[in-house]
Every structure is written in structure tokens, then in C-alpha cells.
Amino acid sequence: MHLKTLLLAAALAPFAGGLAAAQSLSPMRAEGDTPSAVKGFRLLIGNPYRQRMVFRVLPMEPGFRVGAPDAAVNFPELALAPGSTRQVIVSFRIDPAMKERTIGVCVQPKAIEGMVMPRVCGTYTGRRRG
Amino acid sequence: MQLTGAVLVLLAGLPAAACACDVQISTPGLLGLSGDGRTLSSANGLPAIAVISDLNLLAPTTITISGIRLDQAPGGFAAPLTYAGSYVANATLLGTSSGTIAPSASFQVPAILNLVVTLTIHNSVTSTSGFPQGPYTMKTSVTCT
Amino acid sequence: MRWRGPIIAGGLAIGLALPTSPAAAVDVTFTGLVVDTCSVALATPGVMSLSGDGKVLATDQGGLAVPATVTVVSIGTNTLSLAPPTLDTYPAGYTPGGETLELSTSGLLSNPLFTTLGIDGIIGLLPLTNLLVNLRITNPDGFEQGLYGAHTVLTCS
């Protein structure tokens, strides 16, 4: 009984904050041409909830398991007021030997307490023109 | 003189029908998606503005707005749709006329020299299952008779 | 006179050329672009409690245990994926490796049987909708006293 109570207390402790964490990403998918070896996309990231949130914006390989090399976001960390949105630009290099490249971009809270880490990920394809 | 008279009689004898009006699209409309994702509407974007001039000087002109339709949508989109629209017509010295386009709307303007009518039109289309990602085009027809 | 001839002919030509039918309709055009959007929010972080036999730590044990609640808003067609859960924190006296972590879901994605695998589903147009996530850790050797934390990653893509 005592052990069960202690475990319960321990389980409750990290959730005392109980804050809701949320983010939105738009568009979820996009494609476009580039005349050079670098392609960029403008993405809109939103905080639709009632508290200030800090998000991480991460370029990922398709499948969203590992980070994407030769890709960058102009604001890899974003602090957003409740209900606000902000544009970021993700750009990535396309190997000259390839005609196109697809990357993912995931938006997730920088710090979160809870059993679920929520994230929104989009897929973006750049094609070399000519 | 006789010839001139003959020409004038010829011209006066022509039927005073239709038409001539010139419809110029001053601003094409922009559609935006509603918060629930079910309605594409210029109310969430910008209305279209058309300018109608060169109206018939011999008789009143009836301007009809009709045929609201979705002209372009992503491939395979075939959901049941509901259309709606409204208009506001402004003409100097004549005031304003407005109404809903369901499925058409008409109003009359008198035969006045140099009359210009500015028509502001809203369109919307609703799909209960929402809209897939992609470009959309709606069209509405404006006719003078 | 020669110049009048053309006048008569011209007058006749004008008369014949004037239109007698209504003007053709002019199309007024509206354009727009719909983009897919997804928004996910952790509304309730979830609380685990211990089973009576001390071998199961889970969010569906009743009492103070509650599942995690995620709210989802979706425009267009998107995919929700829950990754297999992982153990994040455990007390100093506990040796990890003997436990099994499982998930089940209800609400937006219904997968009521606990599974060690991930859970996926396609979602379409959704207003604010709840997804309930239950997490269960089972260890036949029981649990040491202390703080335990586990999580899954929910991806909307």
C-alpha cells in the first residue's frame, strides 16, 4: 500500500504543470522548382492555444526519424504568443546529380511534460529546373 | 439632303434591342477557406469588382448575374456542393442596388448617357466533407440585355 | 455623285452590322488555394498508477490514473502516427529491460487493444477532436519505488 501510494505521488509529480502544448504547420505538403541547387519553402507555424510556447523547427529526412543534412531553417527555435503565427523559411540543397529532393520539417515543443510528444511534420519536394 | 434623310430613316428603323454593354473586370475575386474547412468564399478573401459601361442609350438595360460554378478544382474532387453569392451595384446618381444570387439576380438601369455601374460580387461554395489541397477557381456570369 | 454612293452603301452596311442579340455573358473569376493544415495539442498529459499486484503501471488503472488527451484539428487529408512508447525516467534502484511498454487509443483513432507497435490512421477534415492515449508498462518483477516516466511521439503529417 505504501509503495503504491509513493509510486502514485511520483507519477503525479511531473504532471503538476499540466500545461497544454500545441502547434500547427501549413502547408503540410508543397512542391516547387528551383533554377539553382537550393530550394526554399515558406511555412506558417501557429500557436493556436492560450499560452506562450517555444517550438523547435527541425528539418528531417522523409519518414521524420532522422535529421536532414544540408538543410536549414531560418528560425530553428520560435517563441510564439498565444494565437499568433510566424513564417519560417526552410531551405535545402539538392545534390547536382539528382533532379529532385524531398525533406520533412517537424514542429514540436522545445520542452514538454506528459506522455505524448505532439509534433506536426510536413513534406516538401524541390526540383531542379533544366 | 434626301440621301442624308434616307440614312437617318434607315438607322432609326433598326430595332432598339439589346445589348451593347461593356463589362470589364476591375478586380478578380480571391477565395479563402473558412475556419471549419467547409466553405471557400470571397468573404474570407476579396470580392470581385466589375465595371459596366457603354450601356444602351435607347432603353433600360437589365443586368443579370448568374451561373455561379466551380470551374477548377484538384483532380478527383467530386463532393456535393452548395453555391451562394451576393452583389452590390453602385451607379452615380442612382444609388445602390443589392441582393443575393440564388441562383441568379437581376436589376435594371435606366438609359442614361455615360452611366457606369460598379458591381461588387461575392461567391462561395460549401462542401460538407471539406476541400482537398490545391487551386480552385469559381466563376459567375454577368450579362446585359 | 460618286462620294454619295459609298455613303448609301456605308449606311446600309452600318444598318446590317448593328447587333440585334443580347451581349454575350462575361465571366467574373474568383481564385483560391486550399492548403492542408494540421494542429495537435497535448491537453492532458496523462497519469499512470500501479495495479494491485504491483506489476503494471498504467493510465487505465482507475483511481487517479487518466489517459493523455490530445486535441487535433485537420484540414485536408493527413496521417496521425503514434510511435511505440519508450521509457524515459525510472528510479535509481530499477534496472530497465524487463518491462513491456504498450499503447492503446480511443476517440479519434480507435485501437482499444494494447499494442507494443505504433498506431496509425488517416484523418480528413476535422474540427477540434479528442484522441485519448493509454500507456501501460508491465514488468513481471514489479517496480521499484520512485519516479517513472514514459512517452510516445504523436506525429501529424
SS (H, E, C) chain C: CCCHHHHHHHHHHHHHHCCCCCCCCEEEEEEEEECCEEEEEEEECCECEECCCCCEEECCCCCCCECEEEEEEEECCEEEEECCCEEEECCCCCCCCCCEEEEEEEECCCEEEEECCCEEEEECCEEEEEEEEEEEEECCCCCCCCCCEEEEEEEEC
**Could you tell me which of B69, B71, B76 has the C-alpha nearest to residue B136?**
B71
Min distance C129 CA to chain B CA atoms (Å):
12
A12 touches chain C (CB under 8 A): yes
Asked if B38 and B110 count as a contact pair (C-beta separation under 8 A), the reply is no
In this predicted complex, what is the ipTM? 0.85
Task: Locate A104 and state its grid cell.
Answer: 520533412
Count of helix runs (H) and strand runs (E) in chain B: 1, 10
Q: Do B32 and C32 touch (CB under 8 A)?
A: yes
Dist. CA B119–CA B90, nearest whole Å: 6
Residue C116: CB atoms within 10 A of its CB come to 11
Region of C80 on the Ramachandran plot (φ > 0 left; ψ -120 to 50 alpha; else beta): beta
B2 touches chain A (CB under 8 A): no
B133 touches chain A (CB under 8 A): yes
Dihedrals phi, psi of A6, to nearest 5 degrees: -65, -40
Task: Locate C119 and state its grid cell.
Answer: 498506431
Mutation target to probe the C interface, by most C beta carbons within 10 A, among A115, A117, A120, A123 is: A115
Per-domain residue ranges of chain B: 17-144
pLDDT at B117 over 60: yes
Please state at what angle helix C4-17 crosses helix B2-12, rounded to 10 degrees: 0
User: Cβ contacts (< 8 Å) between A114 and chain C: which residues?
Assistant: 42, 44-46, 68, 151
Query: Looking at residue C63, what is its pLDDT?
Result: 87
Query: Looking at residue A47, what is its pLDDT?
Result: 87
Query: Looking at residue C22, what is its pLDDT?
Result: 52
What architecture is domain B17-144? Answer: Sandwich (2.60)
Dist. CA A111–CA A59, nearest whole Å: 18
Per-domain residue ranges of chain C: 37-156
Residue B76: CB atoms within 10 A of its CB come to 7
User: Cβ contacts (< 8 Å) between C91 and chain A: which residues?
Assistant: 10
**Could you tell me which of B41, B23, B39 has the C-alpha nearest to residue B117?**
B23
**Could you tell me which of B81, B82, B137, B141 has the C-alpha nearest to residue B106?**
B141
Query: Looking at residue A49, what is its pLDDT?
Result: 67
Q: Which domains does chain A have, with CATH numbers?
A: 19-128 (2.60.40.10)
Instruction: Using a pLDDT cut of 70, give the percent of chain B over it.
Output: 86
Residues in chain C, overall count: 157
**Per-residue pLDDT tens for B34-47?**
888 899 999 999 99
**Could you tell me which of A118, A123, A119, A106 has the C-alpha nearest to residue A66?**
A106
Out of C20, C25, C34, whose CB is closest to B132?
C34
Region of A125 on the Ramachandran plot (φ > 0 left; ψ -120 to 50 alpha; else beta): beta
Query: Looking at residue B20, what is its pLDDT?
Result: 66
Q: Do C15 and B123 touch (CB under 8 A)?
A: no
Out of B19, B45, B50, whose CB is closest to C23?
B19
What architecture is domain C37-156? Answer: Sandwich (2.60)
**Per-residue pLDDT tens for B59-114?**
999 999 999 999 999 988 988 999 999 999 999 878 899 999 989 999 999 998 88
pLDDT at C116 over 60: yes
Query: Looking at residue C21, what is its pLDDT?
Result: 47
Query: Looking at residue B59, what is its pLDDT?
Result: 92
Out of A3, A49, A115, whose CB is closest to C151?
A115
**Could you tell me which of A128, A122, A129 has the C-alpha nearest to residue A25?**
A122
A–C interface: beta-carbon pairs under 8 A = 142
Dihedrals phi, psi of C16, to nearest 5 degrees: -75, -30
Query: Looking at residue A23, what is its pLDDT?
Result: 63
Q: Do C46 and A46 touch (CB under 8 A)?
A: no
Q: Do C29 and B25 touch (CB under 8 A)?
A: yes
Dist. CA C91–CA B37, nearest whole Å: 47
User: Cβ contacts (< 8 Å) between B133 and chain A: which residues?
Assistant: 27-29
**Could you tell me which of B26, A119, B42, B78 has the C-alpha nearest to residue C32?**
B42
Task: Locate C76 and state its grid cell.
Answer: 485536408
Dist. CA C129–CA C90, nearest whole Å: 32
A contact chains, 3+ CB pairs < 8 A: B, C
Out of A18, A49, A119, whose CB is closest to C45?
A18
**Per-residue pLDDT tens for C70-87?**
999 998 889 999 999 999
**Per-residue pLDDT tens for C25-80?**
899 999 999 988 899 989 999 999 999 999 999 999 988 999 999 999 998 889 99
Dihedrals phi, psi of B4, to nearest 5 degrees: -60, -45
Min distance A7 CA to chain C CA atoms (Å):
6
Question: pLDDT averaged over consecutive 10-residue blocks of chain A (130 residues)?
Answer: 34 28 79 95 86 94 95 96 92 94 95 91 92
Dihedrals phi, psi of A56, to nearest 5 degrees: -105, 135
Query: Looking at residue B36, what is its pLDDT?
Result: 85
Query: Looking at residue A15, what is its pLDDT?
Result: 25
User: Cβ contacts (< 8 Å) between A12 and chain C: which residues?
Assistant: 47, 64
Min distance A127 CA to chain C CA atoms (Å):
20
Residue B24: pLDDT band with limits 50, 70, 90: very high
Q: Do C42 and A15 touch (CB under 8 A)?
A: no
Q: Which amino acid is at C30?
A: F
Dist. CA C152–CA B13, nearest whole Å: 85
Min distance C117 CA to chain A CA atoms (Å):
15
pLDDT at B14 over 50: no
Q: Do A11 and C151 touch (CB under 8 A)?
A: no
Q: Do B17 and C28 touch (CB under 8 A)?
A: no
Give the SS3 label for residue B11.
Answer: helix
Query: Looking at residue C55, what is its pLDDT?
Result: 95
Give the SS3 label for residue A68.
Answer: coil
